[in-house]
Amino acid sequence: MNFGIFLEQIPDEGIAWWQNLASGLGWTLGTAFFAWILAFTLGSIIGVVRTTDKRWLVRLGDAYVELFRNIPLIVQFFIWYFVVPNVIPAVKAWVIAADPTDFQFLTAIVCLGLFTSARIAEQVRSGIQSLSQGQRNAGYAIGLTQTQTYRYVLLPMAYRIIIPPLTSEVMNLIKNTAVAYSIGLVELFFRTREMAEMTFRYFEVFAAATLIYMLIAFSANRVMAFIERRVAVPGYIGGGK
């Protein structure tokens, strides 16, 4: 066992192995960050839509969630990366012109974003539905429109209630970025494998990756716990702490 390997230079690249892993970590966090913004926005919209009184909107929202929840992530990656450019000529033209790294990055963000948005939509919906009908009625009673009722009454409550499940979705998202290695995105898991293959130090390299992923999970958990404490609703589970 020799952990000094991380300080050694990569042949022909002019940087050390640890810097290569760090750059992978950067891609992992960057992908997760943008995918989360996309997932949170889309997931909120679709989650809300599924609780409105418009039948066709609810159906559409349900269909969206079922579509992205019932296909394995890796298959979704293959679809975005290989199938979509092949069936939509405009995408293909853009892919050929674009920098391949940009395309991999964007594919990963869109794929993970939509995949995660379906899960967030489900949480948002159940969060809103867990509130009593009285809250919605109260909003309407004081003369708020449906949009205003969501904006000022239902959503502020619902989001705070679903912070624990959202925490696991953040962690899942970060972990799921590893699947993006299958389309060649140079994120942490790609760099881990690359380093293991080139240096043959599988044990040390995988141990380091394990440690990094644990640290990310731990930090994500702490950040979400902090947010949870700050916004806790008095009288609700976790709010009394």
Partner 1 sequence: MKKIMTIAAVIVAAGFVTSAAAQELTGTLKKVKETGSFTVGYRESSIPFSYLDDKQQPIGYAMELCMRVVDAVKADLKMPGLKVNLQPVTSSNRIPLLQNGTIDMECGSTTNSVQRQQQVSFGPTYFVINVTAAVKKNSGINTFADLNGKTVSTTSGTTSVPLIKAYEKTKDVAVKEIYGKDHAESFLLLADDRASAFIMDDILLAGQIANSKDPAAYKILPESLRQEPYSMMLRKDDPQFKALVDKTVGAIMKSGEIDKIYAKWFTSPIPPKGINMNFPMTPPIREAFKNPNDKGVQ
Partner 2 sequence: MGGLDFAVIERALPYLMRGLQYTVQLTLVAALGGTVFGTLLAMARLSSFKPLALAAAGYVNLMRSLPLLLVIFWFYFLVPVLVQKLMGWELPPRIGPERSAYITFIMFEAAYFCEIMRAGIQSISRGQVGAAYAVGLTYWQAMQLIILPQAFRNMLPVLLTQSIILFQDVSLVSLLNVTDFVGAAVKIAQRDSRIVEMYLFVAIVYFIMCYTLSFMVKRLQHRIAIVR
13 is an interface residue for partner 1 by CB under 8 A: yes
- 57: tokens are 């909107």
131 is an interface residue for partner 1 by CB under 8 A: no
Q: Note whether 58 and 49 are within 8 A (CB).
A: yes
From candidates 76, 104, 123, 192, binder to partner 1 by CB under 8 A = 104
73 is an interface residue for partner 1 by CB under 8 A: no
From candidates 178, 183, 186, 224, binder to partner 2 by CB under 8 A = 178
Judged by DSSP in three states, 88 sits in coil
Question: In sequence order, what are the beta bridge partners of 16?
Answer: 9
Judged by beta carbon, residue 1 or residue 97, the one nearer partner 2 is: 1
Question: In sequence order, what are the beta bridge partners of 9?
Answer: 16
Residue 104 touches which of partner 1, partner 2, none (Cβ within 5-8 Å per kind) = partner 1
- 220: tokens are 């994500």
Residues 77-136 that bind partner 2 (CB under 8 A): 78-79, 82-83, 86-87
Residues 170-189 that bind partner 1 (CB under 8 A): 182, 184
176 is an interface residue for partner 2 by CB under 8 A: yes
User: If we measure between CA atoms, which residue out of 53, 17, 51, 38 comes closest to residue 192?
Assistant: 17
Neighbour-count burial of 172, counting CB atoms closer than 10 A to its CB (0-12 exposed, 13-18 middle, 19+ buried): middle
| CA–CA gap between residue 160 and residue 228 (Å, rounded) | 7
233 is an interface residue for partner 1 by CB under 8 A: no
| CA–CA gap between residue 37 and residue 92 (Å, rounded) | 26
72 is an interface residue for partner 1 by CB under 8 A: no
What minimum distance in Å lies between the beta carbon of 108 and partner 1? 14
Handedness of CA 74, 107, 183, 31 (dihedral sign): negative
181 is an interface residue for partner 2 by CB under 8 A: yes
207 is an interface residue for partner 1 by CB under 8 A: no
- 34: phi > 0 → left, psi -120 to 50 → alpha, else beta; which? alpha
From candidates 72, 100, 156, 164, binder to partner 1 by CB under 8 A = 100
Q: Note whether 108 and 180 are within 8 A (CB).
A: yes
209 is an interface residue for partner 2 by CB under 8 A: yes
What minimum distance in Å lies between the beta carbon of 96 and partner 1? 5
DSSP 38-65: HHHHHHHHHHHHTTSS-HHHHHHHHHHH
171 is an interface residue for partner 2 by CB under 8 A: yes
8 is an interface residue for partner 1 by CB under 8 A: no
Q: Which residues bind partner 2 (CB under 8 A)?
A: 66-67, 69-76, 78-79, 82-83, 86-87, 171, 175-179, 181-182, 189, 192-193, 202-203, 206, 209-210, 213-214, 216-218
